Amino acid sequence: MEEIPRYPGLPAPSWLDVGGLPTWHVEAGSGTPVIFVYGGNWGTAESQGGAYAWDGTFAALSRSFRTIAYDKPGQGYTPAPEADADHTMGYVVDHLLGLIEALELPPVHLVGHSRGGYIVTRATLLRPDLVRSLTIVNSGTLMPDVSTNEVVLARPPAPSFTRESARWVYENYCHLREAVTDEWVEQSYQVLVHPAHRAAVERIRDRRLMATVFNPQLARDKRETLGWLAEGRLQRPVQVIWSLNDRTARATGAYRLLETLSAFEPRTVLNMVDKAGHFPFREQPEWFYDTLGRFVEEGGYDHA
Amino acid sequence: MHEIHDRRLVRGGRGQTRVLERGEGPAALVLLHGGLAGQSPYVGAAELWQPLLDRLRVPRVLALDTPGVGASTLSDFGELTLTGTKAWLAAMLAELGAERVVLVGHGEAALLALDCARERPEGIAVDGVALVAGHTTAPAVAEMRNLTLLSPPPRWSAASQRWALERLSYSAAHVTPELVARLAEHTADEPHRRAAELLGDVDTALERALDQGGAKAALYAHSRDVGFETPISIVWGAHDPLAPVEHGHGLFEVLSTTRAPLDFNVVTRCGHFPHRERPAEAARLIEPFALRCLRDG
């Protein structure tokens, strides 16, 4: 059998069947489960996310929790869904819920970054019975304000599917360029040039699935999600973590999000760090581990 | 009310100071209460820190009555200025053997804590500063007058203590009869009466206001021209009637010229007293910050 691709900073992975989709995932530690959901989406040719994004956080929290990281459909080493119609954020959200059920987990702490912040929020709204708490990190996708990714990351100067393009993207996302290490770039690059990923990107481009399926459905669902938040349907403790120097998901968005969430949920807090851009968990790792660790230590919503 | 930890009077500088204390060692978290002795409608005093004092798991924590409060004597007006208060603090830390400190300043004392981090006066080795609802440090020159405490009951009465604490809080559950009685007792203490007498003089009160304003200008100039080198953590109540979150964020941006760690934390459903209204939350934020500061020195 083909060897499962690995990320150097994470434990040995295994495949998990989630609704028929072979899903790359890793686990470590014991105790209450904490699941990490990274950002980005399928179909990108300049850089590509993967569970590797969480390596430091994963290791730090696995000392006290059962930590779980996985590759989202069409990202990292998990294949994209086969049907065109499944190329939606709704599919990615359902896949996360399917993963929790496939692992037969008790209620979990969810941690989502960027697009992952939207995913964990939507998942909690759909299935609160599976969730103890959620942590939303620099999520332009979820915040009500304008996200400026398309401005900051417009027209990368380096060719697609190269280390240079991956480095350029992360250096523009981050405030601390020294946080963008060769190891980080290399892991993104290895995913980018993986044959299955390249084939998925080409298919998504050829069939224009972002413009015709993914983006319109996300736009509809985001409106619905923000409506649900404004109705007070999110009833789990929430930690909003943000960075002062994020040029793509600016700090003002964090305050508007906090205002909406805290109107209904008593256990809501905002933690914002200086000298970090879009990746506070990689740019200010120790602060991030402490901030996240202390929050989940409190246990979240008690399902007992 | 919780039992007060080891409480003692310590002689140092020009008089004596009341100290609440837990733990031991040369590295300490030092809690500095808010309010201005003799002026603020509520008496800021060390016991206001009690809910946080009970929760912080750090090697040593000290809460001090500043000069003119509780049993901490006040010799003259000089001790009410920033310069005088810093001299008093240096003397106290020497007496208490606190060689390295993380200063936690509430309300008005946030300015004192930042002033120590800026000036690094001899005898105060500041490893970190936590600002809790530091409304007087935030940029707000063009703001409208704050009317939260416009029409108080007769000053220094128990009713006025309750009135002020309740109006400054989002949830008044922490304003217990025992606390109100205790603060009302403090208004009758000799140090407080002395402070109130001194500041009853219009010129003296103006002098103090100018002193506070000068310290604020020094803070902003330092941030602009030099930048701090001490880790700073800001904790803000989402419903602080004295300063909305925007003011706290303004302070966060002012301080972001720092070369040291800096963060800003908003505690929801909370007014001017995060350490009393949401003590578990305040401890969860301040404790890891303090431990990192004391470890890194």
Contact B266 A269 (CB under 8 A): yes
Q: How confident is the model at residue B142 (pLDDT cuts 50, 70, 90)?
A: low
Q: Give the single-character DSSP code of A66.
A: E
Give the pLDDT confidence score for residue B9 in this predicted structure. 87
Q: How many CB pairs under 8 A join A and B?
A: 65
Give the pLDDT confidence score for residue A270 in this predicted structure. 98
Contact B262 A275 (CB under 8 A): yes
- A275 lies within 8 A of chain B by CB: yes
Contact A268 B268 (CB under 8 A): yes
Evaluate if residue A1 carries a pLDDT over 70: no
Task: Report residue B8 CA to chain centroid gap.
Answer: 19
Evaluate if residue B3 carries a pLDDT over 50: no
CA distance B232 to chain A (A): 10
Q: Tens digit of pLDDT for each residue in A284-297?
A: 999 999 999 999 99
Q: Tens digit of pLDDT for each residue in A12-57?
A: 999 999 999 999 999 999 999 999 999 999 999 999 999 999 999 9
CA-nearest residue to A287 within chain B is B289
Contact (CB, 8 A) for B19 and B47: no
Partners of residue A294 in chain B, C-beta under 8 Å: 284-285, 287-288
Give the pLDDT confidence score for residue B70 in this predicted structure. 84
- A298 lies within 8 A of chain B by CB: yes
Q: How confident is the model at residue B141 (pLDDT cuts 50, 70, 90)?
A: low
CA distance B183 to chain A (A): 30
Q: Tens digit of pLDDT for each residue in A153-199?
A: 999 999 999 999 999 999 999 999 999 999 999 999 999 999 999 99
Partners of residue A290 in chain B, C-beta under 8 Å: 288-289, 292
Partners of residue A298 in chain B, C-beta under 8 Å: 280, 284
Q: Tens digit of pLDDT for each residue in B225-279?
A: 999 999 999 999 999 999 999 999 999 999 999 999 999 999 999 999 999 999 9
Q: Domain locations in chain A?
A: 14-297
CA-nearest residue to A273 within chain B is B263
- B103 lies within 8 A of chain A by CB: no
Partners of residue B253 in chain A, C-beta under 8 Å: 244
- A273 lies within 8 A of chain B by CB: yes
Domain boundaries A14-297, CATH class: alpha beta
C-alpha dihedral (B241, B162, B270, B230), degrees to nearest 10 = 80
Q: What is the mean pLDDT of residues B32-51?
A: 93
Partners of residue A244 in chain B, C-beta under 8 Å: 252-253, 256, 264
From B256, B284, B285, residue closest to A244, measured CB to CB: B256
Give the pLDDT confidence score for residue B4 in this predicted structure. 53
Contact A244 B264 (CB under 8 A): yes
Partners of residue A268 in chain B, C-beta under 8 Å: 268
Q: Tens digit of pLDDT for each residue in B124-137?
A: 999 999 999 999 99
Report pTM: 0.95
Give the pLDDT confidence score for residue B71 in this predicted structure. 84
Evaluate if residue B145 carries a pLDDT over 90: no
Q: Tens digit of pLDDT for each residue in A206-251?
A: 999 999 999 999 999 999 999 999 999 999 999 999 999 999 999 9
Amino acid identity for residue B49 in this structure:
W
Give the pLDDT confidence score for residue B1 in this predicted structure. 39
CA-nearest residue to A241 within chain B is B265
- A251 lies within 8 A of chain B by CB: yes
Q: How confident is the model at residue B5 (pLDDT cuts 50, 70, 90)?
A: low
- A258 lies within 8 A of chain B by CB: yes
Task: Lowest mean pLDDT of A102-106, B73-77, B278-282, name the range.
Answer: B73-77
Partners of residue B261 in chain A, C-beta under 8 Å: 273-275, 284, 287
Query: What mean pLDDT value characterizes chain B?
Result: 93
- B263 lies within 8 A of chain A by CB: yes
Evaluate if residue B2 carries a pLDDT over 50: no
